[in-house]
Amino acid sequence: MKRIKEISQVKFFAWLLFSAISVSTSWAADAQNGKKLYESNNCGSCHAFNKKIIGPALAGIHDRHSEEWLIQWIRNNKKLRETGDAEALKLYAEYQSSPMNVYENLSADDVKDIVAYIKLEANIKEEGVITNKEEPQEESQSNTYLTFLVIVFFILVLVLTRVRSRSRRIAPKYENLN
């Protein structure tokens, strides 16, 4: 019976560890996927990172607009304008009523990935001079460290659980010695 309980605990902690790793790696949007989506949807034909072309410069877009707004705008800016959204109407007017393409093929996660890519690339000037190359590495390293710490934590919990169960088995033998 105790052996079954120990196996159940191990399965539970294995599931918990797997879940924690999955969550920690999915917290950050995938900038690599964002780059692929940015390129395959030809975003660069109308946008640059640090200067206006046909559309606005993308550097700092995540600071100027909420994530939800960006998702709605990128997926279907026409629909967003039709709701009377003041930001959308202002941006549309600022660019001489030049409509942005509709990208309903992109999911909300796809848009988040593109924004993650924009955040990383915004540090690169148009001439190709890198202004802050360390930031992307720090984000990647922090995710690696977080995953490592989660694994170490759950291994520690597993070991302590096993020590506790063994000490409960051994304790009754030594109580009778006194």
pTM above 0.85, yes or no: no
Contact 165, 2 (CB under 8 A): yes
What mean pLDDT is predicted for residues 97-103?
89
Mind listing the pLDDT tens digit for each residue in 12-59?
666 666 665 555 444 456 888 999 999 999 999 999 888 888 999 999
What mean pLDDT is predicted for residues 66-93?
94
H or E segment at 13? helix 2-26
DSSP 8-state class, residue 46: T
Per-residue pLDDT for 65 more than 90?
yes
Which pLDDT does position 30 carry in this prediction?
85
Query: In angstroms, rounded to a whole number, what is the distance separating the alpha carbons of residues 3 and 83?
Result: 61
| pLDDT top residue among 116 and 141 | 116
Which pLDDT does position 122 carry in this prediction?
77
What mean pLDDT is predicted for residues 153-167?
87
Any idea which of 21-35, 84-98, 106-120 has the lowest mean pLDDT? 21-35
Residue 130 phi, psi (nearest 5): -85, 125
Per-residue pLDDT for 103 more than 90?
yes
Which pLDDT does position 113 carry in this prediction?
92
Please provide the average confidence, as pLDDT, over all residues in the chain: 79
Which pLDDT does position 43 carry in this prediction?
93
Contact 119, 63 (CB under 8 A): no
Nearest alpha-carbon partner for 61 in 23, 100, 26, 96: 100
Mind listing the pLDDT tens digit for each residue in 117-152?
998 887 654 445 444 444 444 455 666 777 888 888
Which pLDDT does position 133 carry in this prediction?
42
Query: In angstroms, rounded to a whole number, what is the distance separating the alpha carbons of residues 126 and 4?
Result: 62
Which pLDDT does position 98 carry in this prediction?
84
What mean pLDDT is predicted for residues 101-118?
93
